[in-house]
Chains A and B, each alone.
Chain A
Amino acid sequence: MVQSLQYLKESASQTAGPYVHIGCTPNFTGIEGVYETDLGAGPMATEQTRGERITIRGRVIDGTGTPLKDAMVEIWQADADGLYNSPSETRGKADPHFFGWGRCPADMTTGEFVFETIKPGRVPFRDGRLMAPHVTLWIVARGINIGLHTRMYFSDEEEANAEDPVLGRIEHRVRVATLIGKREGDTVTFDIHLQGENETIFFDI
């Protein structure tokens, strides 16, 4: 026998289920009067927030091509200077007018999620090289046993995307396109395909 490793085990994930809204966005499902507003709802940028305003729109789509109408999407991103509003941010103080986190339930009819936010600045990779601007997305829903992490990059950042260390390590180059949000005007469209031909890349982070 050897010594036992005295680590606890991570609690197993379970699906968020179809009624995730009750706990996370009760006002969205019509249960009003307990929380003033749903956490993470509404515009992520205020008037004082620095940076370029953008709207991110998308859907989470299953293996049959049908949008999920019961998914919940959370995003996490840096401010306009590439700093995160988090105690774990060690490089400087992020814009105090930008929290960087948002939560949006998919529309119950169309399946669309929307975030009104700013375009994030570049954040360094672990070796100091700059990553291209990106937002991190986390997706839960009925039928998804463990939250799925992915990233959205921007189609108007071709040069930065080309030198991004994370995109650079994706072996099947044809799949990189699944992580690029299409920018038109102030809107960036990003559909997430859970399964099938255009399956989005998900990360084990």
Chain B
Amino acid sequence: MRSPQRALISLEGTKSEITGPVFGHNIINEFDNDLIVNYAKPGEMAIGQRILVHGRVLDERGHPVAGALVEFWQANAGGRYRHKKESYLAALDPNFGGFGRTITDDNGYYWFRTIKPGPYPWPNGVNDWRPAHIHFSIFGHGFAQRLITQMYFEGDPLIWICPIVKTIPDEEAIKRLIAPLDMNNTIPMDMRAYKFDIVLRGRRSTFFENRKEGN
């Protein structure tokens, strides 16, 4: 009921598509990329598996996308979202809001600290569970690059039976949404790391060519 039945009309990029909003660092507060504390009471922390999520935002030619706003949101360790329309019986964590944002540096690099989210049941089939996932929203340099996607975790058996994951017909494309465990960036006695690189479109991207940091 929510998908168009007619073909998209193709439109080669005009100024309206190759330009896009670019956000300054002044919108970012000190703890916006630390979900363990950004909603917690002073001196307290969210409960769950402490993880670092980090990676680069790149275009299809492998160039870093610098200054890209990356927003993320997720459920808590038990799979419960802090949203008024959410009624799953797993408890809210009083110290976990479940969202944050950051801006990529000159190398397209971003990172944030969080709690590994839990799987989450949803009313689709009679017994459907979302794999653990973190939602990402990314702004590139042009509005045509606008992307919302989801990150999954290496080794999660729920990935391969999830109808939302399976909306992607290509298994290789699914694998590109699965973040591997990254022991090199794990902080001993503190938190594990997952690496998640994001690639924004460069298809039909000749219009970006005069920008050294663009496509």
Contacts and interface: CB of A to CB of B under 8 A. Distances in A.
Q: Do A and B make up one complex?
A: yes
Interface of A: 6-24, 26, 29-31, 33-35, 39, 62-64, 66, 68, 70, 74, 76, 78, 84-91, 99-101, 108, 123-126, 131, 134, 136, 138, 140-145, 147-149, 151, 166, 169-170, 194-196, 199-205
6 contacts: A9-B199, A12-B177, A22-B98, A34-B97, A68-B2, A144-B3
By secondary structure, the B interface counts as loop
B105 interface: no
Contact of A9 (B29, B60, B135, B149): B60
Most chain-B CB neighbours within 10 Å: which of A134, A195, A200? A195
B13 to A, nearest CB: 6
A99 B21 contact: yes
A69 B54 CA distance: 33
Contacts, number: 227
B190 interface: no
Contact of A143 (B1, B9, B135): B1
Contacts of B22: 86-87
Interface in B171-215: 172-174, 176-177, 198-203, 208, 210-211, 214
A31 B14 contact: no
A166 B11 contact: yes
Interface of B: 1-6, 8-23, 27, 29, 32, 38-39, 58-62, 71-73, 81-86, 97-99, 101, 135, 137, 141-144, 146-150, 164-165, 167-168, 170, 172-174, 176-177, 198-203, 208, 210-211, 214
A62 B21 CA distance: 28
B16 A76 contact: yes
Contacts of B71: 23-24, 39
B11 A62 contact: no
